[in-house]
Amino acid sequence: MARMKFICDANRCIECNGCVTACKNANDVPWGVNRRRVVTLNDGVPGERSVSVACMHCSDAPCMAVCPVDCFVRSEDGVVLHDKDQCIGCGYCLYACPFGAPQFPQAGAFGARGKMDKCTFCQGGPGKASEAEQYSKYGQNRIAEGKLPLCAEMCSTKALLAGDGEVIANIFRERVTVRGKGSEVIGWATAYGPPKGGAAPAATEGKK
Partner 1 sequence: MHKFTRPAAVLAAFALTLGLSACGENKVTAYEPGKYSGAPVAAPWDSPQYAGKQAEWEAALQARAQSQNDYTRMK
Binding site for partner 1 (CB under 8 A): 2, 64-65, 67, 69-73, 75-77, 81-83, 85-86, 123, 125-128, 141, 143-148, 152-153, 158, 161-164, 167-168, 171, 174-175, 178
Least separation in angstroms between residue 193's CB and partner 1 is: 29
Least separation in angstroms between residue 161's CB and partner 1 is: 5
Torsion of CA 66, 70, 72, 74, to 10 degrees: 100
Whichever of 41 and 65 has its CB closer to partner 1, that residue is 65
Rounded Cα gap, residues 194 and 131, in angstroms = 56
- Name residues whose C-beta falls within 8 Å of residue 71's C-beta, 6 or more positions apart in sequence: 82, 83, 84, 86, 87
Whichever of 21 and 141 has its CB closer to partner 1, that residue is 141
Whichever of 55 and 71 has its CB closer to partner 1, that residue is 71
Contact 114, 87 (CB under 8 A): no
Whichever of 127 and 193 has its CB closer to partner 1, that residue is 127
Which residues on neighbouring strands pair with residue 117, listed in sequence order?
103
Least separation in angstroms between residue 152's CB and partner 1 is: 7
Whichever of 4 and 94 has its CB closer to partner 1, that residue is 4
Least separation in angstroms between residue 29's CB and partner 1 is: 21
What single string gives the DSSP state of each residue in 45-87?
A: STT-EEEEES----TT-HHHHH-TT--EEE-TTS-EEE-TTT-
**What ranges in the chain are assigned the alpha helix state H?**
18-27, 62-66, 92-96, 131-138, 150-154, 165-179, 183-186, 188-192
Of 140, 143, 178, nearest to 163 by C-alpha is 143
Whichever of 18 and 126 has its CB closer to partner 1, that residue is 126
Least separation in angstroms between residue 77's CB and partner 1 is: 6
Least separation in angstroms between residue 121's CB and partner 1 is: 10
